[in-house]
Amino acid sequence: MARKRSVAAALRKTTRAALAPIGEPKRVVIAIKVKFELNAKNGLRRIVFGLEKDTAGEVVRWKIDFALFERERKANPYGDPLVSLQVEVDSKLNAKAEDTARLGLTAQQAAHALGPASDDAKDAAAGDLDEQEARGTIQATLKKR
């Protein structure tokens, strides 16, 4: 009986050692969703710049959700978004999208989103600019990293 216990104990030790991890566990991010709220210094414009990552097997897709809010006076609350666009990110910018999601927007990215990206989105909504061009300007925010 004692022999059976010592064999069982030896097997448990061997099993524990065999099941121990080899090095650090591998971290795999399958999906992520982050939103940045940007407010202009004058208090009249707000941007919600969202980044969303999704994976299907080895294929990684990033998407930008861009919403522009404006008001005439600081005392007024922001209403519904003036413009809301979804932009599929070019795969060449995946690394910049990943960095932005992890580290936040740089000052240059925030300025681009509040300035040229917002202006083009607003012009596209008014019909003064092609929507694809506005989406390109919004996507260019990632290049400012």
Local confidence band at 4 (pLDDT 50, 70, 90 cut-offs): low
* pTM: predicted TM-score of the whole model, two decimal places: 0.80
Q: Are 60 and 88 in contact (CB under 8 A)?
A: no
pLDDT digits (tens, 9 = 90+) for 25-81: 877 777 899 999 999 999 999 999 999 999 988 899 999 999 999 999 999 999 999
53 located within any domain: yes
Domain count, the chain: 1
CA distance 67 to 72: 17
CA distance 70 to 68: 7
pLDDT digits (tens, 9 = 90+) for 99-130: 999 999 999 999 999 999 999 999 999 999 99
11 located within any domain: no
CA distance 60 to 41: 35
For residue 120, the enclosing domain spans 31-144
Residue 40: CB partners within 8 Å, gap ≥ 6? 46, 114
